Amino acid sequence: MTVQPKSLTPTKPFGLGLPEYPWDTMAPYKALAAQHPDGPVDLSLGTPVDPTPLVIREALVRSANSPGYPGAHGTASLRETIARWFARRRGVTDLIPEAVMPTVGSKEIIAWLPFMLGLGPLDVIVRPKVAYPTYDIGARLCGATAIAADSLDELDPQLLNRVRLVWINSPGNPTGQVRDSASMKAIVDQARDLGAIVASDECYAELGWDEWDMDAGGSRLPCVLDPEVSSGSHQGLLSLYSLSKQSNLAGYRAAFVAGDEKILASLVNTRKHAGMIVPAPIMAAMDAALNDDEHVRVQRDIYRKRRETLLPALQHLGMKVEHSKAGLYLWATAGQDTWQTVQAMAELGIVVGPGAFYGRAGDGYVRFAITGSDERVAAAAQRLALAETLQG
């Protein structure tokens, strides 16, 4: 008897049905900007371009001989260093090392946190109205419903009892908006009443400007674990942080999450089973980075100068810059459709981030990153200064 092989045609398409990666749509605008005689200035992504500090690279090299498996919870040394960093830089003096865990960049934990928390189709996740798209992706990966709102008061009362996770992003991406302690505390209090977890994405917390520049006499950027926000308890709270921006470690994928000890224990257990582990040499590099505040100050000064170069050029052109009080972006509008501004900037040889990528509330805005080199940021400012009007 001849046995016929089973058909290899799948009964349904492979994959998770996620939307196409939005940045792929920028290809024609990048091609247009590339035609500029002086070359393109790409300010669309917040990708660091400055060198990784030597103190970090040396720590990486010293730890390169790493034949064994690292632990998912991270080394005791790194967790202790992170706890001290929270006390020194974030005003959180009661964080214990057991309630800390390194992650493979912050995007990874943002995308997978809802799934690892066990959320599903009956659950609601609240994220800011203008927000990093990965919050929505995390909801889709576990089948939950994502709702855009800046306050739980905006939600339909029938949905409130289904809220299981609330995202805070301060300083915000793409807006650079900073929530004060009272605003964050209000969200924490409401979420606790609902039995929901609050996860605060704070990866730009070392990059405050003007009144939020702590090292220049300004206020410390609020942290969800700060007693003024948490009321002295970390229950139901998670703080996420990344070293990509402050230490030019985007290529290292170096980040961490801290907060509620019980939640962290569950996350560590899940990650042990799934093999989601930060490499040991990267953890050593993180340890060195978080023990050295000087390189962060130097990098902040570099970004400050670029910001001070680009901001007046945008204002000269009549663009309105909103929020942008911290982080690596200038959130601006020319009072027209987002894509008109993207087109006009590309004609000047400048690539920007479309506000439409960040939710409906981002329509009409574009995002300028200050992560270009000094020379490229200066070139963009010169082109903007020479442009009499913005047409697109």
CATH number of 152's domain: 3.40.640.10
Do 165 and 216 fall within a single domain? yes
Closest CA to 130 of 96, 94, 194, 173: 173
User: What is the distance between the alpha carbons of residues 138 and 76, in angstroms, rounded to a whole number?
Assistant: 29
Same domain (yes/no): 340, 375 = yes
The residue among 291, 322, 357 that closes a domain is 291
- 32 shares its domain with 178: no
**277 and 310, same structural domain?**
no
| Residue-averaged pLDDT of the chain | 93
Cβ neighbours of residue 28 under 8 Å, at least 6 residues apart?
A: none
pLDDT tens, residue by residue, 197-238: 999 999 999 999 999 998 889 999 999 999 999 999 999 999
Kindly list the distances between the CA atom of residue 165 and the CA atoms of 37, 39, 258, in Å, as whole numbers in the listed order. Answer: 49, 44, 16
Residues 168 and 233 in one domain: yes
Q: Looking at the structure, do residues 149 and 60 belong to the same domain, yes or no? A: yes
The per-residue pLDDT for range 139-164, each reduced to its tens digit, is 999 999 999 999 999 999 989 999 99
Does one domain contain both 226 and 93?
yes
Place of tokens 């915000």: 172
Last residue of a domain, one of 256, 291, 326: 291
Residue 6 lies in a domain: no
By percentage, how much of the chain surpasses pLDDT 70?
95
- CB atoms closer than 10 angstroms to residue 182: 10
Pinpoint the alpha helices (H) of 215-279.
227-230, 244-247, 261-274
If asked whether residues 373 and 344 sit together in one domain, one would say yes
What CATH number is attached to the domain comprising 300? 3.90.1150.10
| 3 pLDDT more than 60 | no
SS3 content of the chain, % helix, strand, coil (to 5): 45, 15, 40
Q: Domain ends where: 291, 326, 350?
A: 291
Same domain, 45 and 139: no
**Which of 155-159, 322-326, 371-375 is predicted least confidently?**
155-159
Is residue 287 located within the same domain as residue 317?
no
Query: Do 184 and 123 lie in a common domain?
Result: yes
What is the count of structural domains for the chain? 2
- pLDDT band for position 15 (50/70/90)? low
Q: Does a structural domain hold residue 108?
A: yes
Answer whether residue 15 is part of any domain: no
Among candidate residues 354, 365, 364, 361, the one with its CA nearest the CA of residue 154: 361
Residue 254 β-bridge partners: 104
Query: 325: domain range?
Result: 22-51+295-386
Are residues 217 and 301 located together in one domain of the fold?
no
pTM attached to this predicted model: 0.92
Judged against a pLDDT cut of 60, whether residue 5 lies above it is answered with no
| Token digits of residue 342 | 């993207």
Q: What angle do the packed helices 105-116 and 134-142 form, to 10 degrees?
A: 30
16 part of a folded domain: no
Q: Tell me the average pLDDT across 96-118.
A: 97
Q: Please give the pLDDT value at position 241.
A: 98
Q: Which amino acid is at 158?
A: Q
pLDDT for 4 beyond 60: no
Q: Helices 54-62 and 280-290, interaxial angle, to 10°?
A: 150
Domain assignment of residue 2, yes or no:
no
